[in-house]
Amino acid sequence: MVTGTGALSIEETFLGPQALPPPPTRHALFAILIALATLVHFGTIGIGDLYSETEGQYAAAAREMIQSGQYLLPTNDSIPRLQKPPLLYWLIVASYKLFGIHTAASRVPIAFSVVATVAFTFLIGERLADYWRGFAAGLIYLTLSGTFIFGRIVMPEPLFAALFAGAIYCGLAGFQQRHQRGAWFAGFWICAALACLTKGPHGLLFPSATFATLAIFYREARMRFRSLLWWPYLLVFLAIIGPWYLWIEIHFDGPFHRLVADEWIKHLLGRYPNGNWYDDVPRWQFLANHLAWWFPWSLAILPALIFSWRRVMRPPEISFQDALPMAWAIVVLVPVLAIGQRQDYYALSMFSAFALWAAMIFERAPNSLRNLGATTVALVGIAIGFIAIALPRLFPKNESEWGETDLRWTAWKALADMPASAWLHFRPLLALAAIGLLAGAIITIYLLWRRREKIATVGLAFGMVAVGLCMISGVARIAPFFSLAEAARFLNSRLGTNGQVLFEGPPDIASSLGFYLERKFAMVNQEPDPRIPLTPEQRSLFLEEKAALEQWRVPRPVFLIIEERRVVYWRGLLVQHFHVYHQVASFGTYIILSNQL
């Protein structure tokens, strides 16, 4: 790829729509892909409780918007939460209005986002090559391990990924079609604006940087993407994002600026506002994790990349079609690796780019290397099967226990913290996953043997659907150790009309309690954020230990939720003051105490 000299093919320079309509096969492939995505993601939205942290924060804030009638200010337990823009909150509110307030309804916008991303991945692949490439790319994206895991979490990233992919598609369509270029480029700015309302300014920065990177290397791209800078598009962008930011500026002038600045500093430098440094997922771990998030396709294309990389990458003549997914991926990955703090899902918005790239590699690879890739996946399936059989012998006899909730909010830490009993509950799921991988690999090898290369990805995808459903079930099984849903259900039936709930821990960890509990709760031994102006009622939700003991004396039901490690301390404190200690229930690593016998 040489700066300024990149040439486009005849197909790339074709500026109008194709003369012939797409064949029925194309429509059938697209319909099958969307139907499968809908079945997988909408069919499972009711499985498992919402986790604390991000899921509880968004689901609870949307519920509080409906209860308070204040749709511009997200709150958790009535405390303002201004770290992220409001689009996802609004979509969850709309889902609650249509389907009621419950767990499945909170996941509806996320499921829509994944289906939309699958659709955009197909359409982008179709424009870059043909509808077979689009079908393979969409199928790969749908069946990535990371899509099954992160594509179900109630958080901004799945919606951001869909809007990012939508912006790329609109920009690509405008690049290729002269007569509709203005409308397509307007679509780019609309998607970018909505992405900014979902997660922040990188909703515009990332897709813009992708096309800017392509413009550096391809003269035609510089010429055609220049129209993206037409000033009316900027007015459309500002008209979409401006009203909410203006409202926030008016109502939270100083605090809003400090919160946004601190949030960016925290992520860019990896440092909390109080000066403490942290790195949730180190860079090496982040990259290693993506071999798992992109499984099985990271292994399926590995032999081709190792033994036939010149054939599949074509380095002397990288075309615009080949460069777009790579530019997209680099624009996301490089900043995420450069910043000081990152989470497992920070690169979710480039999973579509990986799927497009992997589809290209798999398509160009010789059958021998495609068979070798499928065989590698089959060997992983066999290894998982042996692990499922030998699992009881792989763990020490001394039973370990879950650690503190606040210390296992990354995939690596959660797996390391998981005790043997939890792993043993996964044995049936591991066995099913092994069978799925083995069956999928065999189907792919059979299709390649029958010279059906265009649909060879169907085999591995079929096996991964089974694996993905096992992943969904596994995440749901360990929800009690990451969620307060069961504790909230227990308390809802016992609080009566004047009962009170106290929680010892930070608001983020209690966020699922905010969604499932049918009233506000107070936090013990926590300080409110000094940057946010609070009313006296909101400040009353933050109790010191002495104030909590005073609540314990009141003749009404009072329940205190604590971590297991704090039982000894609270037992001694309550016995010292009241000569009685009453533990009523336990859920996961949480214990519920009560002042009522």
- Concatenate the DSSP letters of all residues of 434-463 into one string: HHHHHHHHHHHHHHHHTT-GGGTHHHHHHH
Confidence of residue 15 (pLDDT cuts 50, 70, 90): very low
Domain check: are 121 and 258 in the same one?
A: yes
Q: Rounded to an integer, what distance in angstroms lies between the CA atom of residue 382 and that of residue 130?
A: 35
The answer to whether position 266 is within a domain reads yes
| Residue 226 and residue 91 in one domain | yes
Same domain, 255 and 326: yes
Q: Are residues 373 and 332 in the same domain?
A: no
Give the residue carrying structure tokens 């591991």: 430
Least confident range of 190-199, 278-287, 550-559: 278-287
Question: pLDDT tens digits for 326-365?
Answer: 999 999 999 999 888 888 999 999 999 999 999 999 999 9
Domain that holds residue 577: 485-594
b/e per residue 521-548 (b: at least 16 CB within 10 A): bbbbebeebebbebeeebeebbbeeeeb
- pLDDT band of 279, cuts 50, 70, 90: low
Beta-carbon neighbour count of residue 320 at 10 Å? 24
Q: Which residue has the higher pLDDT, 515 or 283?
A: 515
Residues 381 and 288 in one domain: no
Q: Is the pLDDT of residue 411 over 60?
A: yes
Say if strands 500-504 and 79-80 run parallel, antiparallel, or are unpaired: unpaired
Please state whether the peptide bond connecting residue 156 to the residue before it is cis, i.e. omega within 30 degrees of 0: no
Looking at the structure, tell me whether residues 152 and 285 fall in a common domain: yes
| Mean pLDDT value across the chain | 90
Contact residues for 568 (Cβ-Cβ < 8 A; gap 6+): none
> What is the tens place of the pLDDT at every residue in 497-508?
889 999 998 888
54/152 Cα distance (integer angstroms): 12
pLDDT in tens, 482-523: 999 999 999 999 998 889 999 998 888 999 999 999 989 999
60 within domain boundaries: no
Q: Residue 326 corresponds to which tokens in the numbers above?
A: 């790579």
Query: Is residue 427 in a domain?
Result: yes
Instruction: Say if residue 121 is in the same domain as residue 240.
Output: yes
- Sign of the dihedral through C-alpha 14, 19, 21, 22: negative
Mean pLDDT, to the nearest integer, of 571-589?
A: 90
Pairing of strands 558-563, 590-594: antiparallel
199 pLDDT above the threshold of 70: yes
Q: Rounded to whole angstroms, how far apart are CA atoms 557 and 596?
A: 6
Closest among 126, 152, 122, 148 to 137, alpha carbons compared: 122
Residues 134-164: tens digit of each pLDDT: 999 999 999 999 999 999 999 999 999 999 9
Do 223 and 286 share a structural domain? Answer: yes
In a domain, 107, yes or no: yes
Mean pLDDT of 16-45: 87
CA distance 47 to 29: 28
Q: Does 9 fall in a domain?
A: no
b/e map 98-110, b = 16+ CB within 10 Å? eeebbbebbbbbb
Rounded CA-CA distance 139/464 in Å is 10
Domain end among 481, 514, 545: 481
For residue 12, name the pLDDT band (cuts at 50, 70, 90). very low
**pLDDT surpassing 70 at residue 1:** no
Residue 16, pLDDT > 80, answer no
Is residue 395 located within the same domain as residue 507? Answer: no
The C-alpha atoms of residue 345 and residue 539 are separated, in whole angstroms, by 33
Helix%, strand%, coil% for the chain, nearest 5: 65, 5, 30
Cβ contact 484:516 at 8 Å = yes
Looking at the 3D structure of the chain, how many domains does it have? 3
131-135, 456-460, 527-531: the lowest-pLDDT one: 527-531
**pLDDT in the model for residue 423:** 84
Please report whether residue 12 resides in a domain.
Answer: no
Q: How far is CA 104 from the centre of its chain?
A: 16
Highest mean pLDDT among 62-71, 113-122, 409-418 belongs to 113-122
Give Dmax over CA atoms of the chain in angstroms: 86
Domain boundary among 365, 400, 418: 365
Name the band, by pLDDT with cuts 50, 70 and 90, for residue 377.
Answer: very high
pLDDT of residue 317 exceeding 90, the answer is no
Helix (H) or strand (E) holding 503: strand 500-504
Q: Same domain for 477 and 490?
A: no
Q: Is residue 253 very low, low, confident or very high in pLDDT (cuts 50, 70, 90)?
A: low
Residue 3 has pLDDT above 50, yes or no: no
Residue 11 has pLDDT above 90, yes or no: no
* pLDDT above 50: residue 259: yes
Portion of the chain with pLDDT greater than 90, in percent: 70
Q: Which range has the worst mean pLDDT, 89-103, 409-423, 512-526?
A: 409-423
User: What is the chain's Cα-based Rg?
Assistant: 26
Could you tell me the pTM of the whole model?
A: 0.93
Q: Is residue 104 part of a domain?
A: yes
pLDDT at residue 60, as a whole number: 96
Q: Which of 365, 386, 416 is the C-terminal boundary of a domain? A: 365
Whether residues 212 and 156 fall in one domain: yes
Whether residue 2 has pLDDT greater than 60: no
Q: How would residue 316 be classed by pLDDT, with cut points 50, 70 and 90?
A: confident
Q: Are residues 310 and 221 in the same domain?
A: yes
Q: Does 68 map to a domain?
A: no
